[in-house]
A = this chain, B = another copy of it.
Amino acid sequence: MSDVEVGRSKRARVAYSFDDVSLVPSRRTRDPEVVSLNWKIDAYTFEHPIIAAPMDSVVSPTSAKIFGEAGGLAILNLEGLWTRYENPEKPLAEIAKLAPKDAIKRLQQIYAQPINPDLITQRIAQMRAAGVTVAGALSPQRTAQYAKHVVDAGVDIFVIRGTTVSAEHVSAQGEPLNLKEFIYKLDVPVIVGGCATYTAALHLMRTGAAGVLVGFGGGAAHTTADVMGVRVPMASAVADVAAARRDYLDESGGRYVSVIADGSMGRSGDVAKAIALGADAVVVGSTFARASDAPGQGRHWGLEATHSDLPRGELVELGTSGTLAEIINGPSHAADGSMNLVGALRRSLATCGYSDLKEFQRCEVVVTPN
């Protein structure tokens, strides 16, 4: 990034968001049919790199089946309504009707219900039974406590996800989670994040993670920047972490860690930008929350919005745009980048002249000032 002086005692790099950049076609074009979107992590291969976000508005055991059958991966939030309530349909129905004025206060109450470890086992079993790759997410604070339940229940991919997850956490009481040891002992591949810088990502890669999540809120429903002042625009974050992947590949003698852009991709064009900036896969939330068959029923919120004394997210009203199947693979009947995410990505590669995701990471981008 370019370096500027904010004031005499502070310099800063200039960082760019997806909105600040655009893709530039090469001198070649391709038919969409000759483009491959395959993505592979550990032993798992997917038809496309678009992952459904571990948010209660997006992934339920039921919707996870649809995502999987449509060629992708869905991550269930293991600290959300599905592990707090036997019948989460009731709180989901209430949230779908909450008046915006009191929304946060009521979300705080709904999520005050404690996590039931048996429900972790039960939800994972449900997803296994559906025959799709099973992924579940815990926050780093709760990973030590519930990891065994998760693994024993038969998760395929273990996700540790927080606003910021570092390889070196300083805790108030006792030993904090030692990520490196934890991952080493685990039998399943781990995806961990968010992070947003070269250095933080490199340290996460060294823990043995199969993938790192780039970003820490910044999407449709997060207000981390307003509440805490913390933000790294995604285009720069992804391009920085992609450099860490390259350097770690060398340092480790060939371990390739997936860089997974997580958040700020509200339109299909943003997914293409994320890959072109160096991501291997992406985690999408709000666009899927707009599905008529998503659990949020047109509402969208993250776990941040439910924090008991410092909520950092809104409950947003998105409305619905189509079915999950249409949003994933089309056909689209809207021109705003909200449907046929896979088709749009395929056409981006074709128009720009690239044949697969790895090649597409070399795509030229321009920065557009306004």
Which A residues have a C-beta under 8 Å from some C-beta of B? 1-2, 4-10, 12-31, 33-34, 104-105, 108, 163-173, 176, 195-200, 203, 216, 223, 225-233, 235-244, 246, 267-273, 276-278, 304-305, 308-314, 330-337, 340, 343-344, 347-348, 351-353, 355, 364-370
Contact = CB atoms under 8 A, between A and B. Distances in A.
A107 to B, nearest CB: 9
Contact of A12 (B165, B309, B365): B365
B310 A343 contact: yes
Copies in the complex: 4
A199 B16 CA distance: 26
Contact of A29 (B21, B165, B241, B271): B165
A8 B369 contact: no
A6 to B, nearest CB: 5
A276 B236 CA distance: 21
Contacts of A7: 1, 15, 235-243, 277-278
A320 to B, nearest CB: 13
B6 A235 contact: yes
A18, A268, A314, A343: residue with the most chain B Cβ atoms closer than 10 Å: A268
B12 A169 contact: no
A28 B309 contact: no
A135 B238 CA distance: 46
A250 B343 CA distance: 41
Contacts of A199: 26-27
